[in-house]
């Protein structure tokens, strides 16, 4: 299954520019809460390819948050979850963040939706005391990223323009 998810991530990186569906952006449903963190990356790929890019960014950040927690607190070999997380962040993360950066307000909103989803649907795969502490540390880091984005909107826009990337 992990190979398939990675393959989907690589395939996504070659996708063209689908029209973004920014209306009525929803958060992932509660039924996804018990899924492994990598399933959120897979669903992000599917939503992105379908043109639901803002939803995809939210799903990506839920998956990244959960993946970082498991990689940091789980007793997993470095060549499994941590290696998969690094690969998915490089492939899927690059696509999601490039899109998200085009609208810093939308980027911050996606992070807020991911954080809200995490509060409402804690990851049962990371329920140990060690994981709860790591969850708070990772949530703090994601909140700091959101705050950095909002504090540097003009710099982000200028850098994107200089790099030939669109701003929305």
Q: How many domains is the chain built from?
A: 1
Q: Looking at the domain assignment, is residue 21 inside a domain?
A: no
Residue 7 lies in a domain: no
Query: 140 lies in a domain?
Result: yes
Global pTM exceeds 0.85: no
Three-state SS annotation for the chain: CHHHHHHHHHHHCCCCCCCCCCCCCCCCCHHHHHCCHHHHHHHHHHHHHCCCHHHHHHHHHHHHHHHHHHHHHCCCCCCCHHHHHHHHHHHHHHHHHHHHCCCHHHHHHHHHHHHHHHHHCCCHHHCCHHHHHHHHHHHHHHHHHHHHHHHCHHHHHHHHHHCCCCCC
Range 139-165 average pLDDT: 97
pLDDT > 60? residue 59: yes
Question: With pLDDT > 70 as the criterion, what percentage of the chain qualifies?
Answer: 79
| 2 located within any domain | no
Confidence band for 80, pLDDT divided at 50, 70 and 90:
low
In a domain, 45, yes or no: yes
Domain range for 121: 38-162
Is 79 part of any domain? yes
The answer as to whether 142 is a domain residue is yes
Mean pLDDT of 109-131: 91
């Amino acid at each position: 299954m992990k190979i398939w998810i990675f393959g989907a991530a690589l395939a996504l990186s070659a996708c063209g520019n689908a029209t973004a569906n920014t209306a009525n952006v929803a958060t992932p449903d509660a039924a996804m809460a018990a899924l492994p963190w990598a399933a959120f990356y897979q669903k992000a790929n599917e939503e992105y390819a379908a043109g639901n890019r803002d939803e995809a960014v939210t799903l990506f950040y839920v998956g990244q948050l959960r993946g970082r927690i498991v990689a940091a607190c789980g007793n997993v070999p470095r060549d499994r979850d941590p290696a998969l997380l690094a690969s998915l962040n490089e492939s899927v993360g690059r696509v999601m963040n490039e899109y998200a950066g085009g609208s810093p307000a939308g980027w911050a909103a996606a992070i807020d939706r991911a954080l809200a989803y995490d509060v409402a649907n804690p990851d049962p795969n990371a329920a140990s005391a060690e994981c709860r502490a790591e969850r708070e540390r990772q949530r703090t880091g994601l909140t700091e990223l959101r705050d950095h984005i909002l504090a540097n909107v003009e710099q982000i826009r200028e850098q994107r323009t200089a790099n030939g990337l669109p701003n929305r």
